[in-house]
Structure 1
């Protein structure tokens, strides 16, 4: 936890700061592939003149990190991090990967046959 700044406020609780970081946006412009466990990996190094939070994400994600981890390291709300990640994804500076691929479920008939076979034992 950070020390409160002037007026007893912590930086991550400052709504004006969060407004500036996101450019006034409350969420990404469109649908995104992000959830808390989506893994983010950097595709390119930070560029000079880049917004500090964008550059920090690119440096952090040299090894895959989840959206939740990025949010914790930067001490920013997940909603703000999602906006920043959407910017980086649009610029093709990061890659978003599902943490665990969805499982393929076996055919219902096969499951019923197994259950019936087990019941006969």
Structure 2
């Protein structure tokens, strides 16, 4: 698949797409790897960019992938995602944070599994 560069050449278009907003209402909702899933289909009269996001996110899709597919800057995509999240049209799933040492299995158990696998 050939990736085209992000469309930053027409500031008037980006201004229109975001309705003049320069950042999302809740900037913490969407980092680059947040997975977005559509909760409904598009409805008549929706902004075309919102429709495209709902179509792209039928299956979990990372914010960075949405940006690349739509050829829009991350900031613009975050604003659009914020619109959809506030109306309940999408859900955002943040990747699990790194596991702590307390959550990891006991090293002796892992050693036993390794020995068992070698013996197969």
TM-score (norm 1): 0.75
| Counterpart Cα distance in 1 of 2:79 and 2:7 | 18
- Residue 70 in structure 1 maps to residue 66 in structure 2: yes
Aligned residue for 1:72, secondary structure, equals helix
Match 2:100 to one of 94, 100, 105: 105
C-alpha distance in structure 2 between counterparts of 1:77 and 1:18, whole Å: 9
CA-atom RMSD in angstroms = 1.8
Aligned pairs, number: 99
| Structure with larger RCO (C-alpha < 8 A, sep 6+) | 2
- How many Å apart are 1:98 and its aligned residue? 1.1
Query: Aligned runs of 1:35-46 on 2, under 5 Å?
Result: 35-46=31-42
1:39–1:67 CA contact under 8 A, matched in 2: yes
| Structure 1 contact 32–86 (Cα < 8 Å) conserved | no
Separation of aligned partners in 1, 2:19 and 2:28? 18
Give the TM-score, by structure 2 length.
Answer: 0.76
